[in-house]
Amino acid sequence: MPFLRALFGSIGLLTLVPANAWAQWTVSSPNGSTSISVSLHPSTGALSYSVTQDGAVVLESSALGISTSAGDFVNGLSFVSRSNAVINESYSLPGRKKASYLNAANEAVLRFSKGGQELHLAVRAYDDGIAYRYRIPGSGALSIYSESSAFNLPDTATGYAQSYVSNYEGYYPARGSFTSGTLGMPVLAAVDTRWVLLAESDLGGSYHTSQLTGGSGNTLRWSWPTATSVNTSRQFNSPWRLAVIGSLATLVESSLVENLSAPSQLADTSWIRPGRSGWSWRAGGNQSDYNTHVSFVDSASAMGWEYYLVDEGWQASWVPSLVSYANTKNVGIWLWVNDEDVKTESQMRTLFSRWAGWGVRGVKVDFFDGDSQVTMQLYEKLAQVAAENRLLVNFHGCTKPNGIGRKWPNVLTQEGVFGAEQGELSAAHNVSLLFTRGAVGAMDYTPGAYSNAGGQTTWAHQTALPVLFASYVQHYSDHGAMYRDSVAREFLRALPSSWDDTRLLEGHPSQYATLARRRGNDWYVGTISGGAGRTAVIPLSFLTAGTNYTAHIYRDGTSDNDIAYQVQQVSSTSVLNIPVRANGGAAIRITSQSVPVVPSALYKIINRQSGKALAVQNASRSDGAAVIQWAYVDSTTNDEWRLVDAGGGYYGLLNRNSGRTLDVYDASAAAGAKLIQYTSRGSANQQWQLTDVGGGYVRIVSRHSGMVLDVESASLADGANVIQWPWSGDANQQWQLVQVGSVP
C-alpha cells in the first residue's frame, strides 16, 4: 500500500500514514489544556480543523479555505511543510484592563500548495483559546473572492448573539441554537460546561469585517457584509479568526483580541492619557451655545474629570476660547466630527492639525455605519493621522473592536454598542454586554445615566456600570447636577478609567454579574442584577492578605432612585453580603486607606499637641496664603476642610472658605517647607494620605515628599506655621478629623 508522510507535533517528527487516511497536525497550548487539530481530506484535498479543551470537544470539524486570484485554496491542496514557533511576549498599553499583557501561545505555520501557488495557514493554541489566519506569500496585487471558514459548534450549543447591524447597536438575546440568522460578532456560545466567545482580530485595512451566518448543525460560516471582493497585495495576511474558551471569567478577563493584534505603531505613548469625561449631548441643552459647554466644563472640573466632549453643534468661532477656559479648570476638550468631513487624508490633516493647534485633546469620529474594507482603511488612517497630531480618538457609529486599540493606542474607546444614548435600557441588556461586546474591547456605553433609568434599572445599578464597562475615556452622560448631588459623588470622582487588574467574581449572561477591577492599591467592585432581586455574596479573597481595608459601599436604598451609603472595615477573609433590588446593583470602593472618610463631609482638623485647628491665615482666598494653626472658631470657615478623593488612597484637602487646596510651597521635597493653599492642579504636592496612629488621630502624609504635616517647633501658639517634616511620631504631627457639617 502506498504511504504519505505527514508531520505530527514538532518539526522533524514524521509518521507514516496510509494514502487514504486523513493527514492531521495538532498544536497544543503552553499548559497543554487547549488543542487545535488541522486535517487534510485524503481525496478532496480540503482543510478542516477541530478544537478540544481538557479533552472535551469545543469545536467540531470546521471548514477552512479561501478563494483568491492567486488560486482557489478551498480544495485540491497538498501538504508541503510545517514550521513551529513559541509566542512569548509581554506589553503594556495606556488604556488597559490589566497592567501587563502576556501573549503566550504555541504556533504552527502549515504550508500547502496548489497549481504552483502556496497557502500558509498559521495556527495558534493559547491556554484560553485558539486562533488561525491565512497567509498568501509572493508579491503583486491580490483579490480575495470568498472565504470558506466556519465555526462548527456542537449540536447542543446555545448562547447569545445579536443580529448583524453595521453599527453593532443591538441586543444580545439568548439563542437556543445557531442554525439560522446573520450574526454580528462577538458571538457567545455555551458548550456543555464551557463558554466560547467567537471573534476576529487584526483587520488593518486589508479585509472586510466579517459576519457569522448560522446553518444546520450549529455551523457558523464566515461571510461578508458586501459582495465586493477584497483588493489587497501579497504578502497577504487575513485577519485572525479566534475563539476564547473557558469559564465566563476566562472570557471576560481574556486579552486574546489584543494579543493577536499588530503591536503598537507608536514609539512614544507618554502623551496618551486615559480619563473620565463629561458629555452634554444626552443631557440636553443648546449644543451651539458656548455657555452650555462652559457649564459642563465646570461640572467636569468639579468632579475631577480630565475631559469634556463637545458634540455635534459646536462652533469654530468659540472652540478656542472654550479650550482656553477649560485649561484653567484642568479639563481637556474633545471635539465631535462626522466621518464625512474626514473621509480623505487631506481633510484629516487639515482639520486635525487645526484642532490640535487650538489645544483640542481628542476627536470623536461618528457615523461610519459600515464594515467594508474601505471603511476599515478609513479607521486606520484616522488613527494614524490623529496620532501624528497627538489627538486621542473615540470611534462612534462604528464597527466592533478588532484590536485597533493595541495597534493605535490613541484609540481609547469606540461605540459599537446599544448604549445609554438610546434611552431607557433594560438591566438584562446591561448584564449581557459584560460577557459579549464588553469582553472584546473598550466600550463607549456612556454609563451613569441616572435620569435615564426610568424604572428599568436602579440608580445603584447605574453607579456600578462604569466599573463593569471598561472605556479608557469614560463618558458620563447625565447632567452635572446629577453627579454633584449624588450620594455616590465621591465614588465617581475617584473611579479610574484604566486598570491594573480585572476579575469576574460571579455572573451569568442572563442573570447577574459581579466584577472587580484594581488601580494601584484600590479595588472597585460593581455588581448588577438583570432581573430578580438577590443578595450578592462577594468574597474579598482577591485583597492582599494581612492588610486592612475600608470598603465604601453604594447600594440600593429604599427605592429605585435611592442610593444607600455605608462604610465597612474589611480584609481578604471578609465576605460582603449586599442586598440588590430587582434590576438593581451596588458599587464598592475598597481602599487600604485605614481612616474612613465620609464623602462630602466638612472637617475641622485639630492638632493633638496644641488643640488648635488647621487654618488659612487671615481667612485669605488668594493663592499662596499661608496655612497655620489657630483656635477653632465656629463662625468662620477658613478652618474647615473637605477631603476630595484623588485615588490611590490619597486626598486633596479643600479649604471651605477659599475653595483652594492644601499645597506644599513650590512643590518642595525639603524638610521645613511651608504649607500654603493653592488652586487645585491635581499634582502630588497637593495630595495627602491619612494614616491611623491610634487614639483617633492620624498623620497626614504628602504624596510628593513622603513627609507629614507638622506644627513648626511644636508651637502651642495661634499663628504658628504648619510645615512638612519627616515623621517622628510626636504629638505636633498628629491630627484629629472632626466632622462639623457637610456640603450640600
List of E strands, 497-626 = 501-508, 512-519, 522-529, 534-539, 549-556, 563-570, 575-580, 585-591, 601-607, 613-616
Is there a catalytic annotation at residue 421?
yes
**How far is Cα 475 from Cα 420, in angstroms, rounded to an integer?**
10
Q: Taking 60 as the threshold, does the pLDDT of residue 408 lie above it?
A: yes
Are residues 615 and 523 both part of a single domain?
no
Are residues 582 and 605 both part of a single domain?
no
**How far is Cα 472 from Cα 41, in angstroms, rounded to an integer?**
46
Are residues 90 and 134 both part of a single domain?
yes
Are residues 608 and 584 both part of a single domain?
no
Residue 267 lies in a domain: no
Q: Which amino acid is at 593?
A: Q
Residue 287's CB is within 10 A of a number of other CB atoms, namely 16
Residue 369 has a pLDDT of: 84
Q: State mean pLDDT over 664-689.
A: 94
Least confident of 195-199, 676-680, 693-697: 693-697
**How far is Cα 309 from Cα 336, in angstroms, rounded to an integer?**
7
Give the domain extent around 613: 601-742
Q: What are the grid coordinates assigned to 278, written together?
A: 463629561
Number of domains making up the chain: 3
**How far is Cα 491 from Cα 258, in angstroms, rounded to an integer?**
29
Q: State mean pLDDT over 673-700.
A: 91
Q: Taking 50 as the threshold, does the pLDDT of residue 700 lie above it?
A: yes
Q: Taking 60 as the threshold, does the pLDDT of residue 26 lie above it?
A: yes
Q: Taking 50 as the threshold, does the pLDDT of residue 336 lie above it?
A: yes
Residue 452 has a pLDDT of: 79
Are residues 282 and 234 both part of a single domain?
no
Least confident of 45-59, 176-190, 478-492, 620-634: 478-492
Higher-confidence residue of 5 and 42: namely 42
Q: State mean pLDDT over 583-598.
A: 84
Q: State mean pLDDT over 33-44.
A: 97
Residue 269 lies in a domain: no
Q: Backbone dihedral region of 714: left (phi > 0), alpha (psi from -120 to 50 degrees) or beta?
A: left
Q: What SS3 string covers 62-78? A: EECCEEECCEEECCCCE
pLDDT tens-digit map of 126-152: 999 999 999 999 999 999 999 999 999
Buried (b) or exposed (e) across 219-231, using 16+ Cβ within 10 A?
Answer: bbbbbbbeeebbe
Higher-confidence residue of 549 and 181: namely 181
Residue 596 lies in a domain: no
Is there a catalytic annotation at residue 506?
no
Q: State mean pLDDT over 602-624.
A: 95
pLDDT tens-digit map of 315-332: 999 999 999 999 999 899
Q: State mean pLDDT over 648-663.
A: 93
Residue 4 has a pLDDT of: 30
pLDDT tens-digit map of 344-391: 999 999 999 999 999 999 999 999 988 999 999 999 999 999 999 999
Strands 392-395 and 362-366, by their bridges, are parallel
Rounded to a whole number of angstroms, the CA Rg of the chain reads: 29
Distances (CA, A) of 293 to 281, 286, 523: 10, 9, 33
For residue 618, the domain's CATH number is 2.80.10.50
Are residues 615 and 525 both part of a single domain?
no
Q: State mean pLDDT over 632-658.
A: 90
For residue 162, the domain's CATH number is 2.70.98.10
Residue 424 lies in a domain: yes
Residue 593 has a pLDDT of: 61
What confidence category does residue 594 fall into, taking pLDDT thresholds of 50, 70 and 90? low
Q: State mean pLDDT over 530-538.
A: 97
Are residues 16 and 36 both part of a single domain?
yes
Residue of 60, 118, 421, 663 with catalytic role: 421
pLDDT tens-digit map of 482-530: 998 898 988 898 899 999 999 999 999 999 999 999 998 899 999 999 9
CA 537, 541, 545 angle in degrees (round to 5)? 145
Mean pLDDT for the chain?
Answer: 93
Residue of 72, 366, 663, 710 with catalytic role: 366
Residue 111 lies in a domain: yes
Residue 79 lies in a domain: yes
What confidence category does residue 680 fall into, taking pLDDT thresholds of 50, 70 and 90? very high
For residue 534, the domain's CATH number is 3.20.20.70
Instruction: Give the residue from 200, 235, 259 where a domain finishes.
Output: 259
Residue 744 has a pLDDT of: 61
Q: State mean pLDDT over 175-182.
A: 97
Are residues 607 and 569 both part of a single domain?
no
Residue 5 has a pLDDT of: 30
Residue 451 has a pLDDT of: 87
Q: Is 33 helix (H, G, I), strand (E, B) or coil?
A: coil
Are residues 585 and 623 both part of a single domain?
no
Residue 302 has a pLDDT of: 85
Residue 55 lies in a domain: yes
Residue 268 lies in a domain: no
Instruction: Give the residue from 566, 591, 616 where a domain finishes.
Output: 591
Instruction: Give the residue from 206, 225, 259 where a domain finishes.
Output: 259
CA 213, 216, 217 angle in degrees (round to 5)? 110
Are residues 178 and 286 both part of a single domain?
no
Q: Taking 90 as the threshold, does the pLDDT of residue 340 lie above it?
A: yes
Are residues 544 and 656 both part of a single domain?
no
Are residues 504 and 366 both part of a single domain?
yes
Residue 8 has a pLDDT of: 35
